[in-house]
Amino acid sequence: METSNQLTDNCLDSSLSIHLNQKVVQPSGVEQETNHSLSECFFLLGFSDWPSLQPLLFALILFCYLLTLVGNSALVFLAVRDPHLHAPMYYFLCHLALVDVCFTTSVVPLLLANLWGWARALSRAGCMTQLYISLALGSTECVLLAVMALDRSAAVCRPLHYTALASPSLCRALAAASWLGGFTNSLAQTILLGTRQLCGPRGVDHFICELPALLKLACGGGGTVEQQMFAARVVILLVPCSVILVSYGTVGGAVWRMKSQTGRRKAMGTCSSHLTAVCLFYGSAIYTYLQPTHSYSQGQGKFVSLFYTVVTPALNPIIYTLRNKEVKGAAKRFLGTVEWRQR
């Protein structure tokens, strides 16, 4: 019987790089023990099918990660520092920036390490922890984007009552509900996955422990458990998405009824950046998580996952500041203060 330390050493041993269908051959009498050891490990195969692409991916992903850290941190700094940005829109935007930084950080370090080798091993506990954290943060972003759409709808459709509607206490409650909903959904999904028996060599054809890739390793039909997991994914993706569609349908009607061209441009400018972020995030997330397990393509899935875990968080600060006069004004005021102090 191997000790827990021996199992950990086996999982961290870089020599245990395996194929999805590779069989571990050991002398008689040791085979069962070794298979038990490997059953506690997951081997992330990453982009090993494209070895020539790995250096380029490493550079691009590192660049996106640094852009995510710098862009989102700067956005939070400006929103906290400048009184002109002390509004519900920027309060929720700060939460989105925080989610993006944490979400990317839960994925990118492991991904960058994976790009240096053929496979990386994780213990079962480590894989489930990584799955729980990344899924919780991704789910939180789903709900938070819906909350932000409701905020924009209230601002455009009921401008005279917006200040009363978007009270600080309500904003805090909605932000807390986004985090709680995301982590609750992830906990349910992770627990349900833990009840499934996983078969064979644990070669995960992905760069992270992601739910669709892990479900590919499940033994036999999932039955009720897999249906419950799919229902949870439908709720966390399609319910917020429906809220967003209804909110922007209301915004579109309000804009259509506006007589002032200036008012129309201002309303569309306020909402277009958020709508762009929603399309980028939800398009890739729905493709990944709402496919039936048997039709999920792991090769395509890796690149789609790369988009919403790495690229979208890097683009969000650019999307929200490129056409936002208030954020650009706050940046100019800050730079002006820095220049004045240096004189």
What is the rounded distance in angstroms from the CA atom of residue 75 to the CA atom of residue 238?
A: 28
Cβ atoms of residues 269 and 328 within 8 Å:
no
pTM: 0.83
3-class DSSP state of 294: helix
Give CA–CA dist 180/202, Å, rounded: 31
Determine the Cα–Cα distance for residues 187 and 337; give it in Å rounded to an integer.
46
Structural domains in the chain, sorted by start: 50-197+221-342 (1.20.1070.10)
Distance of CA 189 to CAs 132, 137, 212, Å?
Answer: 8, 13, 11
Rounded distance between C-alpha atoms, residue 97 and residue 80, angstroms: 12
Between the CA of residue 240 and those of 82, 142, 154, 243, 341, what are the distances in Å?
30, 6, 16, 5, 46
The whole-angstrom distance between residue 197's C-alpha and the CA centroid of its chain comes to 26
Reading the chain (343 residues) residue by residue, the pLDDT tens digits are 444 444 444 564 443 444 434 333 333 333 333 344 445 678 888 887 788 888 899 999 999 999 999 999 999 999 999 888 889 989 999 999 999 999 999 999 888 888 876 557 788 888 889 999 999 999 999 999 999 999 988 888 888 888 888 899 999 999 999 999 999 999 999 998 888 877 756 778 888 888 888 888 877 666 777 788 888 888 999 999 999 989 888 887 877 777 666 666 766 766 777 788 888 888 888 888 887 766 666 667 788 888 889 999 998 888 888 777 888 888 888 887 766 766 6
18 phi/psi in degrees, rounded to 5: -135, 160
